[in-house]
Each structure stands twice: as C-alpha cells, then as structure tokens.
Structure 1
C-alpha cells in the first residue's frame, strides 16, 4: 500500500531537482523570481541546492526497501533474493532502457545535448557511456571525465542506489539475524562524512557523486524503517515535530551552496529527512486530501519517470532556446513549459509503458508463496 505522505515528499524532492537543473542553463535571478530574500535572490535560494532533493530520494528509497521487506517476509533474514531482484529489475530496467534508446535516437539527429561531450578535454566513447549507464557506474564515469552526456548524467544517482541494493539482500541473509546488520549500516553512515571531507569542493564532484558520498542517506533510511517497526510516538507530538523538522530542513537547504558544507550537511539533511519520514508514517492515511497533497502525491508517484526523462525535455528546450540569448520573460514561460511537458511525458511513460511492464515482469518471474490450506 502506498503512503501518500511519502509520495508528497517524493514530489517535493523531484520539484527541487527540476528547478535546480532548469536554473543551471536558464539563470532565473533576472526574472521576478529573483526578488531578494535575506540578501539572496529567491530563485537562488530555491534552486541552487537541488542535490538535497536527491538526498531525500536516497533516504526514502532505503526506508521503503527495508519496510517492504519487513512487511513481506517478517524479518530481513528471510528475504527472498530472487523476488527482491525481480522487483528491482521490473521497476528500474524498463525506464532505463527507454531513456538510453531515446537519447541515442536524439543523438543520431546531431542534437548537442544528447551527444557525448568532453568537459575535461578527454573524449569518452558513447558505447562506454551506455555501458556505464547499464552497469551502474555512471557516477564514477562522471567523477573521472565530467558530465560526459547531458541527458544520461542523471543516472549517477541510480548507480548509487542500485549498487547498494545489489548488496542489500545478501547482507540481509548474512547479517539480518543479528545486530551486525545495524552495525554495518552505522559504519556506512559514519564513513560518509569522512569520505566527503577527503574530496570536499573537488571539481570532480566526488563529494556528491561517489558511492561512499551517498550511501549514508540510503543506510539512514534503512535504519529508520527498522526503528519505525519498534517505536511509535503519540499523535499529539507528530504535528509539532513535522513543523520543526521542515523548518530545519528549509533552513539548511537555503543556508549556503552544498559544495561549501557537503562534509556534514548531506548527512544532517538525510537525518532530518529520516526523522520527517518517521513522523509521517506514524499517522493513519487520510481519505480527503488537500489539493496541495494530492498534486504533490501525484507528482511523487511518477518521480522516477520524471527524474530519468526531465533532461530530455530540458535538452530539447535548450536546442530551441539558446540559454545565453533567452530573455527573462521567456525564461518564466520556458520554466512552466518544462514542468508541464515533464509531467505529461512522465505520466504517459508511467501509464502506458513502465507500470504495465513492471506488472508483467513481476507476474512472469517472481516466485509466489504457496497457499496455506
């Protein structure tokens, strides 16, 4: 069963990512969104730290994977490895393959955003880029050679998640019966800030893109699911806690560029995200949702499709409207167009492609539990 508040959080996370990526080519500070707030343009405060949205995604992913495993199997040590991997393949691979095919096709037309670039002066073949995308080390390729392909670069975070999840069921089987699994997660969380400190501010982006820079968010999500199974809080404390956590997350989000404080800020943001998720799942589902919740929950349900395909939309916009010559009024129009086209495209892909394939793959390859008489 889906939890609408988790989908709302996903919706917020993907909007932050979309605004961040749009603001990179089309700087919004010369539009009405550039109004000064606390000495900074509002557009800068909202858009510059969109990478925290990815951190929120990591925490949510770790939480849901662990919670679903516990709900299905009763204990991590009883995880069904085959079914776990089939679920991951069914959700991840169809959209991944479609993205690669679309980028390849658009690149065949010579459109610049879909061709490989050489930001560090070293050319990387397109075949190697595709291989990195399909084998989950796009993040390492970016660290070594820069953002070599505009539309495929988003796969760095998918690389982080899937490498973690390749190991997850094996770790559950080996360590799930003892406290060693928890100790493993804590060690991953503790190591991440140290690793980021070794690469702080590097142009390679290793402080953001590397596995060990991001595993802590997923591990924090896993621990949160284990905690939520054991502990609950009284209803009267939930709303004040949620308000306080959101305020702290907003303050950290707008504080300074993530590059300047990544050593500690990513872990802190992940911890605040985990606490917020913990509070959200304490409440019962609400039947009559406010329009804000309905909209962001709808967006959140399709956030994976939006994340993978939004740079295709933005890349095509860049082909038609060169960022350097785009006027301020045009930028607002393009921002609205970018969001709406991304929403529509993602809805179409989810409804007619990824969800049907997801179901078919699961039905064909998952092992069903025997029915008890």
Structure 2
C-alpha cells in the first residue's frame, strides 16, 4: 500500500503538466479556457450518490446510510468548482466572479423554481393549510438560506411527526449556493496572498479542520443531530476538502501517459475507495454517534480519493463508472435530486406503519424519472445554453412533441386527483360510525358498563385474554379493586393516550406523561417525583418515541434507581430512529438485573388498527391494549 501511495505522489509531482488539447476556445459569454475534458467517471459517482439519497428517502433498509450521498455531492462541488476557477485563473490571470455567479444561477435556480411552483400548485389543490404552514420554507429556499431557517426554527431533519415538508431536501442546495457565492472571492484572495500551491492547500485544509472540529464539538451524543447536520459551518469541511484536492490535483493538468504500475495503483485505490463508500451507505445509520464525530470527515476523505482516481484520464475505473446508464443518470443527478423528494412526500402525505411495497416504489420512481427528464431537457439545459425560447418554439410547433405534452398533463391531472381523493378520505372522521353505534347501545341499556366494552376489546385481541379468568371476569390483579400504589409510569404523549385505561386497571398508579418528552428529561422527572414522594418502587419508562437518546445518560439514570424494579418499553414509530431506540433499550437493559423490557414493538406487530393515522399514537382500542400489555408484564415480573 505504501508503494501505491508513493506512485500516486510521483504522478502529482512529476506528471502534473498542463495539457491544452486543441488549443484555446472562446465560448459565447465565457472567458478563454482550455478545452474541458469530459469526466465520465464523475457522472458515474454522481449517479451512485443520487440513487443512494433516493433509496434513503424511500426508507429502503439496504440504503440506511443513503444520506451520505449528500456529503459526496458536497465534496464533488468543492472539487469541480475550484478546478474550474483555477483553470480560468491559469489561462486568463483573473476570474470573472459575476459570470461565474450567473452561470451557477442559470444552472440551478430555474429548475428549483419550477419545482417549487409545481409543489405549491399541488398543495394549493390538495392541502391549502399545509401550503400556508410551509411559507417560510418556500421563501428561504428561493433565497438559498433554507438550512439556517430550519436551524433557527428548530426543525428536525430526523425527528418530526405529521407530513414532512416536500421541499425539506433543499437545505443542501442552500449550503452549496452559499459556497458558490463566497468561494470565488476567497479563491482570488488566496491566489493573491498565497500564490504557491502548497500554502493555498494548507489554508484550505486549515479551514476544513476548523469546520470538522465544529461538528464534533457541537454535537451532543444521543440527541437530535439536526443542528450540525444542517449547518454551513459544520458541513463546509466536505466542500473544502474537495477544493483542496482541486488545487493539488487539477483535472486539466493530468496526463494519460503513465506507467502500468501507476495505472494499476489508481484502479486498486479507487476500487477500494468505492467499496468503502458502498459499505458506508449500506451500514451507516443517521443516528450513529461516530458519524458526527469525524465520521462525515472520513466520508469526505474516502470521496476525495475516489475523485482523484476518477478524474485521471489513465484510470480504468473512471471508464467503468462512465458506462452509459450511470452517465445518463449522473448528468441528470441534479434534476433527480430536485424532484425525488416532493414526489415521495406528496404521494405519502401521512406516515404509515407498513413500508412501501415494490409496486408503490416503482410507481414513484417512474414519476421521478419522468419529471427529471422533462426538467433537464426543457428547462435546465435550454436555459444553461441560452436556447430556452428556441427549444420551446420547436416543442410547440413540432407534432411529435404534442402527444408527449398531452400525456404529461394527463398524468399531472391524474396525480392531483388521486392525491385530492386520498386526502379527502383521510380527513373523514374514522370513528364516527362506531361512536354512533356505541352511543345507541348505551342509551338502550344504561346498565352497560366499560367492563362490557373491555369484553369486546378482548374478543378483538385474544392476547389480552391472558388477563381474564375462565368466567370472563378480570382477575384480582387487573380488576378495579387492584392497586397501582407503588407503581409509577413515566412517558410521553403515548403515556397520555393510555392514562385513563391504566388507571382503570391499576387504581393509585402515578402517571406522568408529557407531549414531546425525550429520554434526556427522564432524570429530571424522576427527581421531581422523588421530591414529591410519588416515585414508586416499580417504575415503567416509556420514552423513545420522539427520537434517539444517549445510552450513557440512560445508564446514569438506571444507576440512581438500582433499588427499584424498572421496566423499559420499546417503541413503534414509522420513523428512522425506531430500530436504533429499541436496540439501545435492549442493550442497556441487558446490563441491569433489575431492568425488564416490555416489548411494545413486538406486541403491536401487524396490528395497524391500534394506531391513528400518524402510525404512532393510539386509538381508544389501541390504548386499552397498550395498558393491558403493561399490566400483563407487571403481573409476570
């Protein structure tokens, strides 16, 4: 491996000579530049990255680390933009910052505006209230400050209930556009005061180190990482590392003629880097603490190694990743990124317990690709090349395009109608008819009690029959005459759902629930209950539905309760942190003999009727079943 790296250094030092193929050219509206060499391998890497992001947002288990694709895009942007600026400086001895900005805006803004307009029209048709609630998201996205808007409004990327924002992915474009706005100026300053390549690289890497340290120091393990995930300051190191590579390894200075051992070294190192990247996408979880403690930095280093190999004309790996399917996707990666999230979110406005089926996934992918192709062919490329009017004049007057336009409009109308019907159905009160029947029964027979309703519940869910004796009556432990004295239930809004039912089964139990409560507040609640003399000898902790937690802090809490009998309740939430929370609860419980697990996740499997539309909170029937599960485990332990 040392020999491989030595050969790469030889390339950097000796083979890094300018190659100006076919001389210089003058492009309309642009400065004289060396004829750019197409980099098919980079498009292949773009394709892999955007596919990873799409798979992540589709909640595909094999791409649980698909969010890393955004980090790859950051490194790519840093490299390609800096490479372009340095090439312009080399040829013309100056950089036209205004022209650079205009090229970037023409490339990025039109497609995004088109997407925002279409999403706004969709929401206006299907859910006007939701559109009003997203006003700040739309405005901040247009001005490329969406990431800071989300930070200041404490909007979590990972831990949110209700319908997600269909434009929630635009935070990353804000970071990139902020970079495009500032970086040309900083590059010019750097070239003036640090003309030597080595000094400039050190300056850029110094800034990158500060940014990586900011992420590591600001992140609090076991808490929502959205602040460091969104921040320009805490994500800049990825872009800066790519920029540093552009200074050391400019694509326009790399020659094809290299020794066979160098070519082999490039391919071996590139293949190893690509394999590591794929493993990270498959194995990494957004709640892995190591990810924010230099894990993203490691990703950036792996990516920059891949880029160094793929941009070299002698690399065979670049030709492999430059195969037609990947380059086709790579060229449209921006379009795919822009359109994929609105399609996924607008077609799944409410959370569901079950994941998407294969047919649903394929249907969404078809729509994403169609919208991306339309955006790329009729908006992005024509505007970028200054041919927008000519393109649309041709489209409007050419017969072969008219059926395609009609089909697209028909598809749009169909999707809007489908979404409107779905939302209308979801907004109908689900329990109107059952409540009406129940009220009629109670009016006809005033002596009918809640005890009779529980019999209906037990019939629906035989699992709760374990709490009944052969005569159909609740045994002494769960009957209203039983006592809940000495038992404390601490939880979040789910605890509030079951409050009346658990008190019915265990009179005297102390229940302390609060909407949005995190595990990090458990110690505070325990201390308050202990001070009031309301902390029992048997404590049930139902926390984790609202996000991940620090296992170290949970262990500290359990250490202070070593003389108590404790029960940790697993969670079922259709959110990415569900498995992480449940694994953490079981892992910690294994280390404490006085701690038991109440596995609500297992008990509620395939029982979607227990949950409301958000897939988290409980229906009245679900609340009774939940309470019965708690009592059952208390009885057994």
C-alpha distance in 1, partners of 2:321/2:87?
A: 30
Which residue does the alignment assign to 1:332? Answer: 358
1:193 and 2:212 are equivalent in the alignment: yes
1:219 counterpart SS class: helix
Q: CA 1:296–1:115 in 2, change beyond 3 Å: closer, same or farther?
A: farther
Q: CA 1:79–1:306 in 2, change beyond 3 Å: closer, same or farther?
A: same
- TM-score for the superposition, normalised by structure 2: 0.48
C-alpha distance in 2, partners of 1:332/1:273?
A: 31
Q: Give the superposition deviation at 1:293.
A: 2.4
C-alpha distance in 1, partners of 2:336/2:65?
A: 18
Q: CA 1:76–1:188 in 2, change beyond 3 Å: closer, same or farther?
A: farther
Which structure: larger Rg? 2
Which residue does the alignment assign to 2:186? Answer: 171
Aligned partner (choices 91, 103, 107) of residue 87 of structure 1: 103
Which residue does the alignment assign to 2:237? Answer: 216
Aligned partner (choices 71, 89, 96) of residue 87 of structure 2: 71
Contact persistence 1:77–1:172 (CA under 8 A): no
1:176 counterpart SS class: helix
Which residue does the alignment assign to 1:155? Answer: 170
1:90-118 CA-partner distances (Å, limit 9, x unpaired): 11110121122112111111348x935xx
Written as runs of structure 1 = structure 2, the 5 A alignment for 1:193-342 is 193-197=212-216, 198-201=218-221, 202-203=223-224, 205-229=226-250, 234-259=262-287, 260-261=289-290, 262-284=292-314, 293-319=323-349, 324=352, 331-342=357-368
The structure 1 segments of at least 4 consecutive aligned residues displaced by more than 6 Å after TM superposition are 230-233, 288-292
Q: Which runs of 5+ in 2 are unaligned?
A: 1-36, 389-637
Which residue does the alignment assign to 1:137? Answer: 145
Which residue does the alignment assign to 2:121? Answer: 105
1:50 and 2:80 are equivalent in the alignment: no
Contact persistence 2:44–2:327 (CA under 8 A): yes
Contact persistence 2:263–2:315 (CA under 8 A): no
Q: CA 1:291–1:168 in 2, change beyond 3 Å: closer, same or farther?
A: closer
Contact persistence 1:196–1:206 (CA under 8 A): no
C-alpha distance in 1, partners of 2:211/2:92?
A: 24
Which residue does the alignment assign to 2:45? Answer: 9
Q: Give the superposition deviation at 1:245.
A: 1.2
Higher RCO structure (Cα 8 Å, ≥6 apart): 1
Q: Give the superposition deviation at 1:129.
A: 2.1
Contact persistence 2:263–2:314 (CA under 8 A): no
Contact persistence 2:212–2:235 (CA under 8 A): no
Aligned partner (choices 6, 14, 21) of residue 57 of structure 2: 21
Please state which structure has a larger fraction of its residues in helix.
1
C-alpha distance in 2, partners of 1:152/1:311?
A: 7
Contact persistence 2:82–2:247 (CA under 8 A): yes
1:208-254 CA-partner distances (Å, limit 9, x unpaired): 11102211111111111111137777212111111211222233334
What value does the CA root-mean-square deviation take over the aligned residues?
Answer: 2.9
Contact persistence 2:148–2:231 (CA under 8 A): yes
C-alpha distance in 2, partners of 1:58/1:50?
A: 14
Q: CA 1:115–1:311 in 2, change beyond 3 Å: closer, same or farther?
A: farther
1:12 counterpart SS class: helix
